[in-house]
Structures are given as C-alpha cells and as structure tokens.
Amino acid sequence: MIFEPRALNPDMSMGKTNNVRERAFEFSVAVIEAMKKVRKDMASRIVINQFLRAATSIGANTAEAKGSGTKADFKRFHEIALKSSRECDYWLRVMTRTGYLEPTVANKLADELNQITAMLVVAVKRLQGQVQDQNLLKSPQGSRIMDQGSL
C-alpha cells in the first residue's frame, strides 16, 4: 500500500518553530502515522521497528536533556539525539529504496529530519564549547581559576 500522509503539523512543515524538542516530537508523530499505513510483511516489520525506534529516540533524548542536571548530561543527551537522527536517515532511505514509502512521503520526512539534524548539530557544537569552557574554569583540584563573568 502506498501511503500519502496527512499534512504535517503546519508549524513543523513550515519550520516556524526553532524548538528542536517540539520539532522532534512532531516528527515522531508524523513517522508513527506514516508507519501505520505501510504494507506489513516480514521484512517491513523489522525495518519499521528500527525506523520507529530511531525516530522516537530523537525526541525522547531531547526531552530527557531538559531534565538533566548538568551541562555535560544535557550535551550527552543531545549527542544521542543526533546519532539517532543519523540512524533515522538510514532507515528512511531503506524504507524509500525498498518501496515501502512513497518518495513524496519520504521527501517530506527527510526534509524535516534534515532540519532537525542541522539544529542538533548546532546545539551539540555550542554545548561542546560550553562544557569545554566549564572544564577550563576549574583547576585539577576543582577550585575556580577565574570568574565565569570574565569570559
């Protein structure tokens, strides 16, 4: 069965929100809706499961990052989300190449996934700098070398 998805959330498809957590949530919902319509056979069940796990992991990790206690944890959850987005891209390509997803559907999902991935890349790069800066502010004994305000 070829699937033509209902329209993605207008905010998501138009890129109106810069909130990666909300975009990842909407992407998860769009993927779940798309997978409900895919022809089920032995091979597709395996690929669908992997694709769903990767797609929903992006949002789950960005949500978990919000509750993290340290900048290092916050960064780690965003790194995991970024890895999941790259895995998701792989499974999306498999779904498209094998004919389980109509190219127009795959293109809509791929476009949103690319935007989310770009947002995560920027976030991780910024967080790497912040965590590095925090580590530089401490001596090996854990005392502050300089005031954070002087950076």
Query: What's the CATH code of the domain at 113?
Result: 1.20.1440.60
The boundaries of the domain holding residue 113 are 20-120
10 found inside a domain = no
Query: Cα dihedral sign for 127, 133, 137, 142?
Result: positive
Task: Give the model's pLDDT for residue 129.
Answer: 83
13 found inside a domain = no
104 found inside a domain = yes
63 found inside a domain = yes
140 found inside a domain = no
Task: Give the model's pLDDT for residue 133.
Answer: 59
Report, as ranges of residue numbers, the positions in the chain whose pLDDT lies below 70.
Answer: 1-16, 131-151
147 found inside a domain = no
Task: Give the model's pLDDT for residue 69.
Answer: 87
CA distance 21 to 17: 10
CA distance 82 to 88: 10
Task: Give the model's pLDDT for residue 141.
Answer: 45
Task: Give the model's pLDDT for residue 131.
Answer: 62
CA distance 72 to 7: 37
What is the model's pTM? 0.76
Task: Give the model's pLDDT for residue 2.
Answer: 38
Task: Give the model's pLDDT for residue 91.
Answer: 98
Task: Give the model's pLDDT for residue 135.
Answer: 58
Task: Give the model's pLDDT for residue 88.
Answer: 98
Task: Give the model's pLDDT for residue 10.
Answer: 43
Overall number of domains in the chain = 1
Task: Give the model's pLDDT for residue 12.
Answer: 45
62 found inside a domain = yes
Task: Give the model's pLDDT for residue 89.
Answer: 98
27 found inside a domain = yes
Task: Give the model's pLDDT for residue 148.
Answer: 36
